[in-house]
Every structure is written in C-alpha cells, then in structure tokens.
Amino acid sequence: MLEHYGITAKFVTDRGISHEIVRHRLASFAQESTRYCNYIKDKFGNEISVIKPQELVKGSFEYIVWKKQCEQAEKAYFKLIDNGVSPETARSVLPTSLKTTIVMTANVREWRHFLNLRAIGTTGKPHPDMQALAINLLNQFKSKIPILFDDIK
C-alpha cells in the first residue's frame, strides 16, 4: 500500500525552499515558472512577491537589510524588462526569497521519508522555513490519515 497510494500536496514557499523540496527524486513536481512569468504585468500586480524568512523579525536591522535587497532586485528586474530584456533573462536578478508555488506528488513511503528528514530532522537540523512547512504538512496528514503518519514524532 505504501508504494501504490499517491498523495499530492501544494506548497507556497520561496525558491530556496523549493530547491530543497525537489531533491526528493522519488516524487513528481510541478512548479511555477519564472521563465515565463513577467512580474511587470498586471497579472502579478506589477511587483514580485517574496516570502520573509522566519528567522527575520519585522523591523529588525536584519529584516530591513533583507527587505531593501529584495526591493533592489525588483527594481533591477523591472529595469531590465523595461529595456527589452526577456523575462527568462531578467529573472537572473530575482532573489531566492521569491514566492513560488510547487505541487509535489509522492507515494506514502516517500512522504514518510520526506517528513522524517524535513519535519523531524533525522539526518540533521532542517532549514527553519522548510521545517515549519513540513510540520504543517505532517499535522495535516495526521489529522486526515492518522494510521499512516501518527508514528512520526
């Protein structure tokens, strides 16, 4: 059953965390593309969207530095687009904090492996943002199909 029962989950996170997610090779992924997204268009509200790292406290010096860099990246992106550079080339200046949507499908065995690594940290401390995302997913799995996930602590 663990091999043949697939579960799909949708995450909204930053590009850096999505890079950790796609390392799970026994899964299938669909991710929002920065190659074809033109953030200067109305569809995206004429701005990039970023995800604040959990460790940064709003108003702190570190937060202000991060926010200013994201704003500079957005300005550089728009300037490139305004000068005729394609979105697929202009995206190279976008920050790792850029919001992305990623959908992951895996069988139960792979989800258990994912959660043990990313929520529990069986092989080392997970990135705080990844761990929060994975713990949230684990709690949802436990509430919906406890028989398959309740033993993961």
Instruction: CATH number for 6-33+99-149: choose from 3.30.70.3180, 3.30.470.10, 3.40.50.410, 1.20.120.330.
Output: 3.30.70.3180
The pLDDT, as a whole number, for residue 1 is 62
Per-residue pLDDT tens digits of the chain, which is 153 residues long: 667 889 999 999 999 999 999 999 999 999 998 888 888 877 788 899 999 999 999 999 999 999 999 999 999 999 999 999 999 999 999 999 999 999 999 999 999 999 999 999 999 999 999 999 999 999 999 999 999 999 998
Give me the torsion for CA of 81, 46, 93, 97, rounded to 10°.
Answer: -170
The pLDDT, as a whole number, for residue 29 is 97
Residue of 104, 108, 107 whose CA lies nearest to 147: 108
The pLDDT, as a whole number, for residue 113 is 96
The pLDDT, as a whole number, for residue 44 is 82
Q: Is 28 helix (H, G, I), strand (E, B) or coil?
A: strand
Q: Is 118 a catalytic residue?
A: yes
The pLDDT, as a whole number, for residue 45 is 83
The model's pTM is 0.89
Strand order in the sheet with 6-14: 6-14, 99-107, 28-31
Domain with CATH 3.30.70.3180 in the chain: 6-33+99-149
What is the tens place of the pLDDT at every residue in 86-115? 999 999 999 999 999 999 999 999 999 999
E strand segments, the chain: 6-14, 28-31, 99-107
